[in-house]
Amino acid sequence: MTTRETLRPISAPAIPRFYNAASLDGLLRRAGLAGPDRLMARAVAAVLPFRVNDYVVDALIDWDAAPDDPIYRLVFPQPDMLPAEQVAPIAQLLARGAPTREVQAAAAAVRAALNPHPAGQRELNVPELAGTRLDGLQHKYPETVLYFPAHGQTCHAYCTYCFRWAQFVQEPHLRMASRNVDDLVRYVHAHPEVTDVLITGGDPMVMSAEMLARCVLPLLDEPGLGHLQSIRIGTKSLSYWPARFVTDPGADDTLRLFERVVASGRSLALMAHYSHPRELETDLAEHAVRRVLATGAVIRTQGPVIRSVNDDAGSWAAMWQRQVRLGMVPYYMFVERDTGPRGYFEVALLRAYEIFSAAYRSVSGLGRTVRGPVMSATPGKVVVDGVHTVGAEKYIALRFLQCRDPGLVNRPFLARYDPRACWWDDLRPPVGAAPGVPWSSWGADHGPDIPLAR
Ligand SMILES: *Cc1c(COP(=O)(O)O)cnc(C)c1O
Ligand code: SF4
């Protein structure tokens, strides 16, 4: 393991400094944006969350390439990211210095039109115990419960494409969060089928080591949780704030906590979100990965394929290769979900499949642990397996990696060929096919995105 002393001093800060919408204009100028574009970008930042820290600004973004730089595009609002007819009125309010209250009201109306909670996540997956809804928990697939600790519902920086964006804007009714780890413990206790708890956000690694320990330790210490095998933490901190594991005041306590999980006989997995190979290029990022792995934790990597950020096979191949070299395990390549500014970032399913395949072919088997491109849709996680040709007809081949109905997992099925389809609800059963598994296997109770219902 490398030592702290080998780090470049610039990349080893202890405390992050944040930029928010109030300091956005100066950064937009630095990227070379003209006045009207800056105004539109600020209007977008009134609708969607904006936050970035000095590590991302100073160590990850290539300012000479901005505004086209992929990391710049990953975190900065783009002037044309949302439909102009929605954003222009907000830009006008900003231009004439309208009161914040007015800007906020206009922004709230735009947000409501952006499908803030995709895949029915607020209605469908919230579990109950003894007749009480457990807000801040989700249980969709039998083995895995998601836990959203209230203090982990922000991030070190916000991705422009985030599908959890509704968590970060000041509208409490759009938020899922738990203040009570007892709910989680009682729920897992009552559900012997649960083998995994996934602590997620936001980014739970924004929490102090002490706060994180309050979520994790009860899962280790409580009797009757022998069926719990893995604790996962979904995080982008290895990219956006690797100091969290190196020089941050809570770094060592966090690593000791990870060691305690491993010592309890359970697996601790960081589900690390990476969007671009540059996130793995700093000494600090590499050092953070090595320190986490030295605790016995596993790091599995995942991220969505995003137009103008990483929609090329070279980026994915480079990411997977670097990840494998550092001892991480590539896990999922996702398709951008149907929420927020998805029209701006979306990549057609078959194009995502081409990107995935070209990258997959160019890495060794150690990198081919990755699955994708995967849609996390209402019925489950669906992977696109490419184009299947029978006679003169082409079809899109699909498979469930996870499903509300576990019996459907890993069974191949076909959809009508459509190179423009970008999401699950763009897909249709093959013409003439008898309604069958899986197209007819979820009924009207599963929401509006049912292919046969259209
Ligand atoms: C992806 C996901 C999981 C975990 O699925 P794995 O395939 O086990 O990684 C659990 N719950 C929800 C709601 C998910 O979207
Ligand atoms: S790190 Fe994850 S939760 Fe946070 S903004 Fe990015 S995509 Fe959203």
- For 239-269, the pLDDT digits (tens) are 999 999 999 999 999 999 999 999 999 999 9
In this predicted structure, the answer to whether residue 15 has a pLDDT above a threshold of 80 is yes
- How large is the average pLDDT for residues 410-436? 87
Assign 447 a pLDDT band (cuts: 50, 70, 90). very low
Query: How far is 258 from 266, CA to CA, in rounded Å?
Result: 10
- How large is the average pLDDT for residues 333-362? 92
- For 64-115, the pLDDT digits (tens) are 999 999 999 999 999 999 899 999 999 999 999 999 999 999 999 998 888 8
Pocket test for ligand 1, best of 164, 267, 402 (most atoms within 8 A of CB): 402
Q: From the CA of 376, give the closest atom in ligand 1.
A: 15
Lowest mean pLDDT among 40-54, 98-112, 421-435: 421-435
- How large is the average pLDDT for residues 21-50? 94
Q: CA triplet 283, 285, 286: central angle to 5 degrees?
A: 65
Task: Tell me the torsion sign for CA atoms 186, 192, 193, 197.
Answer: positive
Q: CA triplet 415, 403, 373: central angle to 5 degrees?
A: 55
Buried b (16+ CB within 10 A) or exposed e, 53-90: bebbbebbbeeeebbebbbbbbbbbbbebbeeebbeeb
pLDDT at 12: 63
- R_g over Cα of the chain: 22
Query: How far is 337 from 349, CA to CA, in rounded Å?
Result: 12
Q: How far is the CA of 196 from the centre of ligand 1 (A)?
A: 10
- How large is the average pLDDT for residues 415-427? 94
In this predicted structure, the answer to whether residue 449 has a pLDDT above a threshold of 50 is no
Q: How far is the CA of 122 from the centre of ligand 1 (A)?
A: 15
Query: How far is 331 from 47, CA to CA, in rounded Å?
Result: 32
Query: How far is 316 from 334, CA to CA, in rounded Å?
Result: 12
In this predicted structure, the answer to whether residue 454 has a pLDDT above a threshold of 60 is no
Q: Any residues with CB less than 8 A from the CB of 55 and at least 6 apart, and which?
A: 11, 13, 16, 156, 240, 241, 242, 243, 284
Query: Of the ligands numbered here, which is closest to the C-alpha atom of 383?
Result: 1
Query: Of the ligands numbered here, which is closest to the C-alpha atom of 334?
Result: 1
Assign 124 a pLDDT band (cuts: 50, 70, 90). confident
Q: How far is the CA of 236 from the centre of ligand 2 (A)?
A: 7
Of all residues in the chain, the percent with pLDDT exceeding 70 is 90
pLDDT at 163: 73
Assign 119 a pLDDT band (cuts: 50, 70, 90). low
Regarding the beta carbon of 140 and ligand 1, being less than 6 Å apart is answered yes
Q: Which pair of structure tokens corresponds to residue 246? A: 């190196």
- Count Cβ atoms below 10 Å from residue 314 Cβ, excluding itself: 13
CB 240 within 8 A of CB 162: no
Nearest CA to ligand 1 atom 8: 144
Burial (CB count <10 Å: 0-12, 13-18, 19+), residue 329: middle
pLDDT at 3: 38
- For 350-392, the pLDDT digits (tens) are 999 999 999 999 999 999 999 999 999 988 999 999 999 999 9
CB 329 within 8 A of CB 301: yes
Q: How far is the CA of 141 from the centre of ligand 1 (A)?
A: 7
Mean pLDDT of the chain: 89
Q: How far is the CA of 203 from the centre of ligand 2 (A)?
A: 7
Q: Any residues with CB less than 8 A from the CB of 111 and at least 6 apart, and which?
A: 47, 48, 166, 169, 171, 174
Q: What is the pTM of this model?
A: 0.92
Q: How far is the CA of 427 from the centre of ligand 1 (A)?
A: 22
Beta partners for residue 18, in sequence order: 53
Regarding the beta carbon of 264 and ligand 1, being less than 6 Å apart is answered no
Residue that is written with structure tokens 């296997």 in the block: 441
CB 160 within 8 A of CB 74: yes
In this predicted structure, the answer to whether residue 117 has a pLDDT above a threshold of 80 is no
SS3 254: helix
pLDDT at 113: 84
Query: Of the ligands numbered here, which is closest to the C-alpha atom of 331?
Result: 1
In this predicted structure, the answer to whether residue 7 has a pLDDT above a threshold of 80 is no
pLDDT at 374: 98
Regarding the beta carbon of 402 and ligand 1, being less than 6 Å apart is answered yes
- How large is the average pLDDT for residues 396-417? 93
In this predicted structure, the answer to whether residue 396 has a pLDDT above a threshold of 80 is yes
pLDDT at 453: 27
Q: Which pair of structure tokens corresponds to residue 434? A: 């008898």
Pocket test for ligand 2, best of 73, 154, 236, 332 (most atoms within 8 A of CB): 236
pLDDT at 448: 32
pLDDT at 14: 79
- For 195-239, the pLDDT digits (tens) are 999 999 899 999 999 999 999 999 998 899 999 999 999 999 999
Q: From the CA of 202, give the closest atom in ligand 2.
A: 3
Query: How far is 182 from 128, CA to CA, in rounded Å?
Result: 13
Assign 142 a pLDDT band (cuts: 50, 70, 90). very high
Pocket test for ligand 2, best of 18, 174, 203, 309 (most atoms within 8 A of CB): 203
Lowest mean pLDDT among 42-51, 140-149, 157-166, 445-454: 445-454
Beta strands in 1-41 (DSSP E): 18-19
Q: Any residues with CB less than 8 A from the CB of 282 and at least 6 apart, and which?
A: 8, 11, 59, 60, 242
Q: From the CA of 271, give the closest atom in ligand 1.
A: 9
Query: How far is 86 from 107, CA to CA, in rounded Å?
Result: 9
CB 256 within 8 A of CB 266: no
pLDDT at 162: 86
In this predicted structure, the answer to whether residue 121 has a pLDDT above a threshold of 70 is no
CB 243 within 8 A of CB 12: yes
Assign 314 a pLDDT band (cuts: 50, 70, 90). very high
Buried b (16+ CB within 10 A) or exposed e, 133-153: ebbbbbbbbeebbbbbbbbbb
Beta partners for residue 303, in sequence order: 333
CB 440 within 8 A of CB 434: no
Q: Any residues with CB less than 8 A from the CB of 338 and at least 6 apart, and which?
A: 115, 118, 423, 425
